[in-house]
Structure 1
Amino acid sequence: MAGVLEGTVALITGASSGIGEACALTLAEQGAALALAARRVERLEALADKVRDAGGTALVLEADISSEEQARAAVDRTVSELGRLDTLVNNAGLMLLGPVALAEPTEWRRMVDINLVGLFNTSHAALPHLVHAAEQQPRRVADLVNIGSLAGRFAFGASAVYCATKFGVGAYSEALRQEVATRHVRVSVVEPGSVDTELRTHNRPEVQEQLGARFSGIERLQGADVADAVSYIVTRPRHIAVSELLIRPTEQV
């Protein structure tokens, strides 16, 4: 698997399905060695086998990134076993929707813990290694890509806390970008619209039914479409940074 990212290492959270799995396959095609982090280790093993069968390198990391200790351990193992860290894709996320008045506060905390605190944990642990990689060959640049959402630009009813977490991802990404830009660590946020993944299946049945009806008339994005956007960002030359990329189905209004 030779490509622009040959000789680099990428850590992807939430890699067991959907956008994370697609990012893994796409970055492996570009030559990156992969560290695959998620809680569902059996799915990670299957993905790792697929990468290895195609000639790539994959390290499986069972981790719940909402735990600071587990997030740091995932980063540390990536560097110790693969030698470096050039790219972090913060993809792990949770979308639990419904009106505020009918919501379970435990669901709010789960979204905040994964969508925000987990992203903070991995970013904080990875940052010194990304700075170091940006000082080294082969590319002398590093990337931290956060997967946000269209809901991080526009607020929608029945999505209040989910929107709040994704607006937070955008704000955090821009603030961090300003802090590390001169070190050649590029911080980017990718904001997909409706994507056909299992993310919506975490919701209650009535919410899943509403989501299905809302998007039944359009061709939704696939995980590979978002992975293609991530690949575009991290394969730019050293002097080019794509700070934000909004991608949505053509028919989504």
Structure 2
Amino acid sequence: MESPFKSDILHGKVALITGGGSGIGFEISTQYGKHGASVAIMGRRKAVLDSAVSALQSLGIPAVGFEGDVRKQEDAKRVVESTVKHFGRLDILVNAAAGNFLVSAEDLSPNGFRTVMDIDTVGTFTMCHEALNYLKKGGKGRSSSNGGMILNISATLHYTAAWYQIHVSAAKAAVDALARNLALEWGADYDIRVNGIAPGPISDTPGMSKLVPDEIESKAREYMPLYKLGDKWDIAMAALYLASDAGKYVNGATLVVDGGLWLSRPRHLSKEAVKQLSRAVEKRSRDAPVGVPKRSKL
């Protein structure tokens, strides 16, 4: 789909996207680049990074890739510094790196739980921590009047509860809390906006292939009336809005982009059944004798 935004809304900006070589992260990288930003992507697999950088450059986007693991502080520090060295500044950090798999709570080992927490939560904080000196107002390559932006890719799993996703629910709940607290502290002290996006099920992503196989998707509408697949483009457009001047007054928010799915509840009765039941209940209520309260002896 064609973007509704002007092609230069991120002109002159530099963005670093973790997990930017595939899935949602790559689409954000692409759309940021198409709208004027220079893009650095971080990931653990060199082949994926090289392919993604080649694809971005073929679109005329200034792009570079850096190998690194968000769980390792030394990697985070090196990639942030390399990005600034390459492009001269850093304006936007997108934390899109994540880990996930389906597992029941009793079958999830503490090590498996810790791994997801380390990638999603600790990794997000580590990247923010290492990027602070470059995102804050007056940081290297920045003016003394305004800071940059941090965007975390979250989820809606923890808004209620989710089957077989206790590890990710805990991790993303912490990511949302991290965003709010950093928005307060770093917004006040350094003029850095910190926000999040909570995607719904997005087609053609690694998460969908692992978490929502065809057997589940075919039955989803039976218990999720608002279930429908979104596109990576939908998330990237939200990311553009939050990174642009259009979102300059948004801080500490997590924008849900799921078509309302998290609100879904099973439809226990059809509309016609509701009408019939309502008429019967109202008639019974009208026909019922009105009781006269006994007079108090007092």
- Does TM, normalized by the shorter one, top 0.5? yes
1:162 pairs with 164, 168, 177, which one? Answer: 168
Distance between the aligned counterparts of 1:40 and 1:173, measured in 2? Answer: 27
Alpha-carbon distance between aligned partners in 1 of 2:70 and 2:50, rounded to the nearest angstrom: 18
Determine the structure 1 residue equivalent to 2:281. none
Moved over 4 A (4+): 200-203, 207-211
Matches for 1:1-253 after TM superposition, within 5 Å: 3-132=8-137, 136=142, 140-182=146-188, 183-196=190-203, 197-202=205-210, 208=213, 211-213=216-218, 215=220, 218-237=227-246, 239-242=248-251, 243-250=253-260, 253=264
Paired residues of 2:105 and 2:166 also in contact (CA < 8 A): yes
* Cα pair distance change 1:60/1:167, threshold 3 Å: same
Per-residue CA deviations over 1:63-111 (Å, capped at 9, x if unaligned) read 1111111111111100111111000000001122221112233321210
Q: CA deviation at 1:250?
A: 5.0
CA distance, structure 2, for counterparts of residue 214 and residue 71 of structure 1: 41
Would the alpha carbon gap of residues 105 and 33 (structure 1) be closer, same or farther in structure 2, given more than 3 Å must change?
Answer: same
CA distance in 2 between partners of 1:75 and 1:152 (Å): 30
In 1, distance between residues paired with 2:164 and 2:64?
Answer: 38
Deviates more, 1:83-92 or 1:241-250: 241-250
Distance 1:142 1:168 in 2: 22
Q: Hey, what's the Cα distance between the residues in 1 that align with 2:40 and 2:138?
A: 16
**Percent same amino acid among aligned pairs?**
27
Give the match for residue 294 of structure 2. none
Q: 1:133 to 1:94 in 2, by over 3 A?
A: farther
Distance 1:233 1:127 in 2: 18
Cα distance in 2 for partners of 1:190, 1:110 equals 22
Aligned-residue Cα RMSD (Å) equals 2.5
What is the deviation of 1:227? 1.1
Range moving further from structure 2, 74-83 or 41-50: 41-50
Q: Distance in 1 between matches of 2:21 and 2:216?
A: 23
C-alpha separation in 2, matches of 1:187 and 1:89? 10
Deviations 1:122-178 (A, max 9, x none): 1100011000467935x9341100111011423213211210001000101100100
The structure whose Rg is larger is 2
Output the CA distance in 2 between the equivalents of 1:95 and 1:200. 11
Give the whole-Å Cα distance in 2 for the aligned partners of 1:168 and 1:239.
24
Asked if structure 2 preserves the Cα contact closer than 8 Å seen for 1:44 and 1:60, the reply is yes
Q: Which runs of 5+ in 1 are unaligned?
A: none
The answer to whether the 8 A contact 1:151-1:163 is kept is yes
The answer on whether the counterparts of 1:95 and 1:111 sit within 8 Å (CA) in structure 2 is yes
Higher-RCO chain (CA-CA 8 Å, sequence separation at least 6)? 1
The unaligned stretches of length 5 or more in structure 2 are: 1-5, 265-298
Query: Match for 1:227: what amino acid?
Result: A
Q: 1:126 to 1:41 in 2, by over 3 A?
A: same
Moved more, 8-17 or 216-225: 216-225
Corresponding pairs, count: 250
Deviates more, 1:94-103 or 1:161-170: 94-103
The one-letter amino acid paired with 2:241 is Y
